[in-house]
Structure 1
Amino acid sequence: MFFKTIDFSKFSSIRVGQPTEVLMLERGDKIPNDRVIIGHANNLLLSPTPPPLMMLSKDFSFIELDDGLLTIGCATPTGKIVSFAKKHNITGFEFISKLPGSLGGMIAMNAGVKSYEIFNIIDSIKIDGVWIPKDNIEHGYRFAELGGVATEVRFRVEKGFDKSLLEELKDLRSNQPKTPSAGSAFKNPKGDYAGRLIEAVRLKGVSQGAMQWSEIHSNFLVNNGGGVFEDAKYLIDLAKGRVFEEFEIELEEEVQIL
């Protein structure tokens, strides 16, 4: 293991944060229990006083195909996974094309698009050095109780990469802002949409400093340049308060705030 200083104002997808020392884990390392594991910071909002952080190093960025099983390291970028699946005609990974970041970040929140979720295609996950079957891990909509640090994931291989589905899912991106963001700020409440609720309480396009509820998709909190944590947190809290006041619905953050 080694320490690396990461500037989260450049590294995180929302471009908010400061240079922070992060412990990088390598193969064979004993995993500390006093640090918070992060992925590639695509749904992360870092405060000025984050807890001690750790991240998987490039040791955990790999894809191995053997005897009908696909083993992928949790530091592997999602784009690399989709390219591998396409090259080897493996189905089930098409929806990942819409989800930036690392595999570890995806499984930590059971990331997905529409009816597609990463846990739908998982066989087992290596957590704190032990392989655990998917069915023994509590998971649901944008939620997974890993109970430790995941380093590798196994998938059963099914042939038949669906190029038409890939293009269909890519088209869904057309309603997402290109401005830096952390993706969806809130999980969709049951039977409703967070974006609809934010728009209904008249917050679409509302700004605080350089942070703004997007004009393109209301559930995206975007950084128009030089945005800071305090302004992002203000808008998140404002949305939660307004939505509860008008609809008695408690919005739950999808973005991880540390």
Structure 2
Amino acid sequence: MLERNDNIPTDRFIIGHANNLLVSNNPVPLMMLSKDFSFIELNDNILTVGCATPTGKLLSFAKKHDLAGFEFISKLPGSMGGMIAMNAGVKSYEIFNIVDAVKIDGTWKSKDSIEYGYRFAKLNGIATELRFKVKKGFNKALLKELVILRSNQPKVASSGSTFKNPKDDFAGRLIQEVGLKGVSKGAMQWSNVHANFLVNHGGGTFKEAKYLIDLAKEKVLDTFGIELKEEVKIL
């Protein structure tokens, strides 16, 4: 665990709540932020959030204080650090649309100084806090739409979306078109509910998951000439 007054390590991979991770049997050394970094502070229109803060906690805070722009995180379980590390989002909504600055290795860096894109952020260090310039107007209608959108996701254990959506297409559609929707390897399966979700029915292994990922990439490339890129982080 990384505590608030600890030196920033250079030989560890910091993880959030591991909602979008696939961890091998021999991963790089891992570390998590401690509860020191789970906090929310609102001063006038400046919102500061620790990167260990659960997304659900921030959503509840935004609803309570009528803050606009945070509705989309209802669809994204995990920690705020995990969100910023991969520029998490749903549809056109993503965290870098609303963040103002990120504290990286103890120094605040503006959003404009960070390289980021679709499900990607090059932080070049360990993010511990986020800063937002907020305004009033939490959109309950949008929240309802996003909650409905989650209904097409599996209810069993998974690591979230496995692949990024290619331009003008959907990874789930491609996986389904090559006949892999519902296909299993051991306890791991391409979900029957949404083909871009790799689900674990209990006791699934890294080897089984990696087999299905590689199989999907191979079949989609052979059939459509499209190279699927992992959204899930493989360690």
| SS of residue paired to 2:14 | strand
Q: Give the Cα–Cα distance (whole angstroms) in 2 for the partners of residues 251 and 99 of structure 1.
A: 21
Q: Give the Cα–Cα distance (whole angstroms) in 1 for the partners of residues 124 and 102 of structure 2.
A: 11
Aligned residue for 1:191? Answer: 168
1:67, distance to aligned residue in structure 2 (A): 2.4
Q: Give the Cα–Cα distance (whole angstroms) in 2 for the partners of residues 250 and 198 of structure 1.
A: 12
Instruction: Name which of 38, 47, 70 aligns with 2:47.
Output: 70
- Alignment pair present for 1:252 and 2:199: no
Q: Deviations 1:146-185 (Å, cap 9, x if unpaired)? A: 0100000000011011111111110001100001001100
Q: Which runs of 5+ in 1 are unaligned?
A: 1-23
1:57, distance to aligned residue in structure 2 (A): 0.5
Number of residue equivalences: 235
Provide the TM-score with structure 2 as the length reference.
Answer: 0.99
Aligned residue for 2:8? Answer: 31
Q: Give the Cα–Cα distance (whole angstroms) in 2 for the partners of residues 116 and 67 of structure 1.
A: 24
1:28, distance to aligned residue in structure 2 (A): 1.4
Code of the aligned partner of 2:165: N
Provide the TM-score with structure 1 as the length reference.
Answer: 0.90
1:56, distance to aligned residue in structure 2 (A): 0.4
1:208, distance to aligned residue in structure 2 (A): 0.2
Q: Deviations 1:88-126 (Å, cap 9, x if unpaired)? A: 110100000110000000000100011101000001000
| SS of residue paired to 2:189 | strand
Runs (4+) of structure 1 exceeding 3 A deviation are none
| SS of residue paired to 1:25 | coil
Aligned residue for 1:134? Answer: 111
Code of the aligned partner of 2:119: R
Aligned residue for 1:182? Answer: 159
- Alignment pair present for 1:43 and 2:41: no
Q: Aligned runs of 1:49-64 on 2, under 5 Å?
A: 49-64=26-41
| Structure 1 vs Structure 2 CA RMSD | 0.6
- Alignment pair present for 1:224 and 2:198: no
Aligned residue for 2:58? Answer: 81
Q: Give the Cα–Cα distance (whole angstroms) in 2 for the partners of residues 58 and 169 of structure 1.
A: 29
Code of the aligned partner of 1:138: E
Identity rate, percent: 74
| SS of residue paired to 1:153 | strand
Q: Which runs of 5+ in 2 are unaligned?
A: none
- Alignment pair present for 1:208 and 2:185: yes
Q: Give the Cα–Cα distance (whole angstroms) in 2 for the partners of residues 98 and 244 of structure 1.
A: 29
Q: Give the Cα–Cα distance (whole angstroms) in 2 for the partners of residues 131 and 37 of structure 1.
A: 18
Q: Give the Cα–Cα distance (whole angstroms) in 1 for the partners of residues 29 and 45 of structure 2.
A: 39
Q: Give the Cα–Cα distance (whole angstroms) in 2 for the partners of residues 47 and 69 of structure 1.
A: 39
Q: Deviations 1:58-89 (Å, cap 9, x if unpaired)? A: 00000000121000000000000000000011
